Structure 1
Amino acid sequence: MPDAKAPQKDAYRLILEAIDEGLYKPGDRLVENELAERFGVSRTPIREALQRLETQSLLTRDGRSLIVSSLDHNQMAELYIVRTELEGLAAELAARHATDEELRVLRRMVEDDRGRLDDPRALSRSNRRFHKQIHLASHNMFLVQQLDLVHRSMALLATTSLAVEGRGEDALAEHDAIVSALEARDGAAARGALCAHISTAYETRLRHDSTQDAPH
């Protein structure tokens, strides 16, 4: 009896995760055969994934090449405005609809992250999981879908604000405040805590970018 086929790798997801984790940064060129070799996927699903990412504006054309898109200052501001409103709504809904089990998972995430404060990359990955868990706890499918789109675009920001010295500890305290509001079933407080968290992350990013762009 022939062996069952190994499950086909999701080329779209693999490329998206590589961008999200900084393996490919804004401005980097994506080459079909190199991607196929790296991920162990045939060129056809790679080509289809690249077309899908281009349609979603995560990749842009540079002549005949596809490069990872970048966000200018205004686009980043627009993205944070949308993210703040949608995530604030997710937190408010989660305060009403999250199960006790979901709240315990969020609390455990905060506690576990105390051991990641010296590893910005691990903390950044955990931060994405934390926010995703709040989205899911809203129990609103349409909101989760919109937030998925927003967070895909967040991958186009070349750096994480969590890499800034001291930001990890502050972000963890902000996560703790968000979870405390959710545990209290206080929707207004949860929305406020999450919006304040994103505002601080945005301000941190702006300060960091301004120092990077400063003339030497």
Structure 2
Amino acid sequence: MSQMRAPSKDAYMLILEAIDQGTYRPGDRLVESELAERFGVSRTPIREALQRLETQSLLARDGRSLIVASLDHNQMAELYVVRTELEGLAARLAARHATEEEIRVLRDMVEEDRALLGDPPALSRANRRFHKMIHLASHNRYLVQQLDLVHRSMALMATTSLAAEGRGEVALAEHAAIVDAISRRDEEAANAALRDHISTAFVTRLKHDSRKGA
């Protein structure tokens, strides 16, 4: 009996969401038959989805098996460079184009996410929702598409920077500053606040990972 069924979604999206949500982590082996059973679809679309994900470098070969890929130090650094530029642009455009309703939602997110402090996985999911809202508030579909690709690759990181001690509180303060700049329609300040937020997250991740590997 399958564990979940979502006929409105294809096999590719089902596997992609499972990776993004941490159901499958870097290094986990993906088996056609197990995925077909889990998602309640036939093996043919699962096979095609796995091939597509491998082409996109989200999966890697380990002998004859496919595993969820992981990012080395250089790949992570390159990804953060791209993310910083694109996220900063999204914040700038959000300051220009966001509706009052979108700004209200962003403010509510910051306040509601305070209840998640102390729960890094839940805070990480909330963090993704917050950033996605900024992407949408930019009202630029092409930028949103590129940021979706970047955030898919972010799922290949084994840890979240929000797991570092004290990072949750700081991140929420940074989120509040970003929303404040967007609400003031200050494009430069919104861009700078978002870029600083990503830079601090990267530094925190590097420190956290170096201690973990010590």
Q: How would you bin the TM-score normalised by the shorter chain?
A: over 0.9
Task: Please list, as runs of the form range in 1=range in 2, the aligned pairs for 1:1-216 lying within 5 A after superposition.
Answer: 7-214=7-214
Superposed CA offset, 1:80-134 (max 9, x none): 0000000000000110001111111111111110111122111111110110110
Provide structure 1 residue ranges, at least 5 long, that are not aligned to the other structure. 1-5
Provide structure 2 residue ranges, at least 5 long, that are not aligned to the other structure. 1-5
What TM-score, normalized to structure 1? 0.93
| Cα distance in structure 2, aligned partners of 1:48 and 1:207 | 38
**SS where residue 45 of structure 2 aligns?**
helix
Q: Is the 8 A contact 1:26 1:69 kept in 2?
A: yes
Instruction: Tell me which amino acid in the other structure corresponds to 1:129.
Output: R
Q: Is the 8 A contact 1:110 1:175 kept in 2?
A: yes
What TM-score, normalized to structure 2? 0.94
1:192 CA drift (Å): 0.5
**SS where residue 66 of structure 1 aligns?**
strand
| Cα distance in structure 2, aligned partners of 1:8 and 1:127 | 26
User: How many correspondences in the alignment?
Assistant: 209
1:16 CA drift (Å): 1.3
Percent identity for Structure 1 against Structure 2: 80
1:10 CA drift (Å): 2.4
**SS where residue 48 of structure 1 aligns?**
helix
| Cα distance in structure 2, aligned partners of 1:112 and 1:19 | 25
Which residue in 1 is equivalent to 2:3?
none
Instruction: Tell me which amino acid in the other structure corresponds to 1:143.
Output: L
**SS where residue 61 of structure 2 aligns?**
strand
1:8 CA drift (Å): 4.1
**SS where residue 60 of structure 1 aligns?**
strand
Q: CA RMSD in A?
A: 1.2
**SS where residue 12 of structure 1 aligns?**
helix
Q: Is the 8 A contact 1:59 1:69 kept in 2?
A: yes
